[in-house]
């Protein structure tokens, strides 16, 4: 098993059981209803896997969980309160990595990590950035522009944020896509460590990945 060589800070929030809950959530795109009456509940230390074919609304649901878009009907709540009313209180506890990763092609690997971390309120030093990038398998590529990297390496740049963020809820859209076997194993370890520290993970994936968690729920979209 690969060892995670960079120690992310423990969650700074006191351990209080938290629940992310969806109540009769619906999504409409144009004149098409992607899904309706979706219910889910995710507690502290738990993993929610969202599954379904392309076009079923997986990414749309994750964006709703992040507060980036609104349900056509229904409600998504954090600890019993609608996330639409929580604003920064909720966003400060959430890390979202979409399927495109949010990396900037013209910036270097280090610049992408440092800037994304600063925007999330977790500034890191260049030394810490080097440690994280070495751990994630990008050692020696720190000063290359992202546009020259492979798809798998670009994905590692995005996922490096997970080693420095200090958030409770991770919402990840196809985090394992384009990763080789070693990177899949490393990401699995990162997710398991986060869950062991009372974090929460929501993710979409087409791959069968065995992840240890206090609870695992699968939500199937059609």
Q: What is the pLDDT of residue 7?
A: 52
Average pLDDT of the residues in 180-209? 95
Residue 80 has pLDDT above 50, yes or no: yes
Q: By mean pLDDT, which of 3-12, 117-126, 129-138 is the weakest?
A: 3-12
126, containing H or E segment: helix 126-135
pLDDT band at 206 (very low <50, low <70, confident <90, very high): confident
At residue 64, the 3 state secondary structure works out as helix
Indicate the angle between helix axes 151-159 and 181-196, nearest 10 degrees: 10
At residue 142, the 3 state secondary structure works out as coil
State the residue for tokens 């349900």. 71
Q: What is the pTM of this model?
A: 0.92
CATH number, domain 1-93+167-182+190-222, options 3.40.720.10, 3.30.310.50, 3.30.420.40, 3.40.50.300:
3.40.50.300
200/206 Cα distance (integer angstroms): 20
Contact 97, 116 (CB under 8 A): no
Q: Which of 68, 56, 50 is nearest to 32 (CA)?
A: 56
Average pLDDT of the residues in 160-165? 96
DSSP single-letter state for residue 15: -
Where are any strands of DSSP class E within the chain? Answer: 19-29, 32-43, 46-51, 73-78, 81-82, 94-97, 169-173, 200-204, 215-220
**Cα distance between the two ends of the chain:** 35
Domain residue ranges of the chain, discontinuous segments joined by +:
1-93+167-182+190-222, 102-166
Contact 96, 61 (CB under 8 A): no
Average pLDDT of the residues in 122-129? 91
The mean pLDDT of the chain is: 92
221/213 Cα distance (integer angstroms): 22
Q: What is the pLDDT of residue 208?
A: 87
Q: What is the pLDDT of residue 17?
A: 75
pLDDT band at 4 (very low <50, low <70, confident <90, very high): low
Residue 92 has pLDDT above 80, yes or no: yes
Per-residue CA distances from 218 to 66, 121, 209 (Å): 19, 31, 13
Residue 122 has pLDDT above 90, yes or no: no
CB-based contacts of 88-91 (< 8 A; 24+ apart in sequence):
91/66, 91/67
């Amino acid at each position: 098993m690969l060892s995670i060589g960079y120690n992310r800070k423990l969650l700074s929030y006191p351990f209080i059981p938290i629940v992310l809950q969806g109540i009769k959530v619906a999504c409409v795109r144009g004149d098409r209803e992607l899904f309706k009456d979706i219910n889910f509940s995710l507690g502290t230390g738990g993993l929610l896997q969202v599954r379904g074919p392309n076009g079923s609304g997986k990414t749309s649901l994750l964006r709703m969980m992040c507060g980036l878009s609104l349900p056509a009907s229904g409600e998504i709540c954090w600890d019993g309160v609608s996330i639409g009313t929580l604003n920064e209180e909720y966003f400060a506890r959430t890390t979202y990595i979409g399927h495109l990763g949010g990396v900037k092609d013209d910036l270097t690997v280090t610049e992408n990590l440092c800037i994304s971390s600063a925007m999330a309120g977790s500034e890191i030093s260049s030394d810490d950035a080097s440690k994280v990038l070495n751990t994630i398998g990008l050692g020696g590529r720190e000063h290359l522009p992202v546009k020259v990297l492979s798809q798998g390496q670009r994905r590692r740049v995005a996922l490096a944020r997970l080693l420095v963020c200090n958030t409770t809820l991770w919402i990840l859209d196809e985090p394992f896509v384009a990763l080789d076997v070693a990177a899949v194993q490393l990401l699995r370890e990162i997710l398991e460590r986060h869950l062991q520290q009372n974090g929460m993970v929501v993710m979409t994936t087409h791959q069968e990945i065995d992840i240890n968690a206090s609870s695992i729920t699968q939500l199937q979209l059609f």
